[in-house]
């Protein structure tokens, strides 16, 4: 097969072409070398027509293609997002904090996280508290708000992450373990719910470390029943180091309630029903 250069030299009919590179430079993104090419058209009578043009930077095209690919993958893994009816309609606006100080502070931190979210400046949140205090409500509400702003976000429970990885081993799987882990690495925000509630062994710890290591310096949110001071009782030191990396003290959000968030909502609903029955 003839090269483009050979075709230009041979010409088309009685017309010949020649081409040379006059100058090179990096594209605005610093990823590609662009060329200023001079193409000379030589007619049958010897008349020359010279045309110069820079080659095109394809960085934006590649970036757009990568963004579309990532969005497709994120949508696929959205089906694993917690389907708890209590969380389906969870938003920051309908978070019932009443007069509890720790919940008020947790809501303020959540609102601030959404307002100042920057995919280029990784920030972590660690929601800690007993079952039913509203950790998952706030975490998934942040996830929804970040998606509304046009960013890529994935919300998964810790045990579901491990389940997806195992599913990729099936011969019928449409993606590999590596492809799934790459999506978790590249997404703008990763929310890991119920850290520590999964079955824990060496295999789980290896996968968790791989995920956390790939997300160093990136936006990540955790919810857990395990206090930061007690993490080493569950995970290896290097995993704890990755969780604590760039986690500011004020972003460790401890929620303490005398009555659980779920119980409080249930009691409020029961009282409301009783009042409605009394009016009847």
Residues 159 and 258 in one domain: yes
How many domains would you assign to the chain? 2
- Are residue 40 and residue 178 in the same domain, yes or no? no
Report yes or no on 275 lying in a domain. Answer: no
Domain assignment present for residue 90? The answer is yes
Model confidence, pTM: 0.71
Per residue of the chain (280 residues), what is the pLDDT tens digit?
555 555 445 555 567 878 888 888 888 777 788 788 888 888 878 788 888 888 887 777 787 888 888 888 888 777 777 667 778 899 999 998 876 789 999 999 999 999 999 999 999 999 999 988 999 999 999 999 999 998 999 999 999 999 999 999 998 988 899 999 999 998 999 999 999 988 889 999 999 999 999 999 999 999 999 999 999 999 999 999 999 999 999 999 999 886 665 566 666 666 666 667 666 5
Do the Cβ atoms of 146 and 153 come closer than 8 Å? Answer: yes
Sequence-separated (6 or more) residues with CB below 8 Å from residue 247: 124, 126
202 and 89, same structural domain?
yes
Is residue 94 located within the same domain as residue 34?
A: no
Is the same domain home to 156 and 249?
A: yes
DSSP secondary structure code for residue 233 in this structure: G
Q: What is the CATH number of the domain that holds 244?
A: 3.40.50.300
Tell me which residue range forms the domain holding 49: 4-57
Q: What beta strand segments (E) does 63-174 contain?
A: 124-128, 153-157
| Direct distance between the N- and C-terminal alpha carbons of the chain, in angstroms, rounded to an integer | 89
**Do 119 and 191 reside in the same domain of the chain?**
yes
Is 174 within a domain? yes
Q: Is residue 278 part of a domain?
A: no
Residues 143 and 116 placed together within one structural domain of the fold: yes
Residue 273 covered by a domain: no
CA distance 196 to 94: 27
Task: Give the span between the Cα atoms of 191 and 136, in whole angstroms.
Answer: 10
In a domain, 272, yes or no: no
> Residues 134, 261: contact at Cβ < 8 Å?
yes
Shared domain for 185 and 253, answered yes or no, is yes
Do residue 143 and residue 236 come from a single domain?
yes
Query: Are 133 and 238 within one domain?
Result: yes
Decide: 131 and 226 in contact? Cβ < 8 Å.
Answer: no
User: Residue 46: what pLDDT?
Assistant: 79
pLDDT of residue 45: 80
Residues 34 and 100 in one domain: no
CA distances in angstroms from 143 to 3, 134, 192, 193, 226, listed in the order given? 52, 14, 11, 11, 21
Specify whether 231 is located in the same domain as 136. yes
Is 261 part of a structural domain of the chain?
yes
Query: Residue 214 falls within a domain, yes or no?
Result: yes
| pLDDT at residue 114, as a whole number | 97
User: Is residue 100 a contact partner of residue 268, using CB atoms and an 8 Å limit?
Assistant: no
């Amino acid at each position: 097969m003839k090269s483009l250069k050979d075709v230009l030299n041979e010409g088309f009919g009685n017309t010949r072409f020649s081409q040379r590179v006059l100058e090179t430079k990096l594209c605005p993104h610093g990823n590609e070398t662009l060329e200023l090419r001079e193409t000379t058209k030589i007619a049958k009578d010897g008349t020359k027509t010279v045309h110069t043009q820079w080659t095109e930077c394809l960085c934006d095209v590649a970036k757009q293609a990568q963004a579309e690919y990532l969005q497709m993958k994120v949508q696929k893994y959205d089906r694993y997002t917690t389907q708890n009816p209590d969380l389906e309609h969870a938003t920051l606006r309908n978070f019932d904090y009443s007069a509890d100080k720790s919940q008020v502070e947790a809501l303020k931190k959540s609102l601030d996280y959404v307002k100042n979210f920057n995919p280029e400046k990784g920030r972590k949140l660690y929601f800690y508290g007993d079952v039913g205090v509203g950790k998952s409500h706030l975490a998934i509400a942040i996830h929804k708000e970040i998606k509304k702003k046009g960013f890529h976000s994935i919300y998964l429970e810790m045990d579901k992450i491990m389940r997806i990885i195992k599913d990729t081993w099936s011969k019928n799987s449409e993606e590999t373990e590596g492809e799934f882990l790459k999506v978790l690495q590249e997404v703008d925000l990763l929310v890991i719910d119920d850290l520590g509630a999964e079955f824990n062994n060496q295999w789980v710890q290896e996968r968790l470390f791989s995920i956390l290591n790939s997300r160093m310096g990136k936006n990540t949110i955790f919810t857990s029943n395990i206090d930061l001071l007690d993490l080493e009782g569950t995970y290896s030191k290097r995993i704890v180091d990755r969780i604590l990396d760039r986690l500011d003290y004020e972003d460790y959000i401890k929620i303490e309630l005398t009555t659980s968030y779920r119980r409080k909502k249930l009691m409020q609903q029961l009282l409301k029903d009783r009042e409605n029955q009394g009016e009847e």
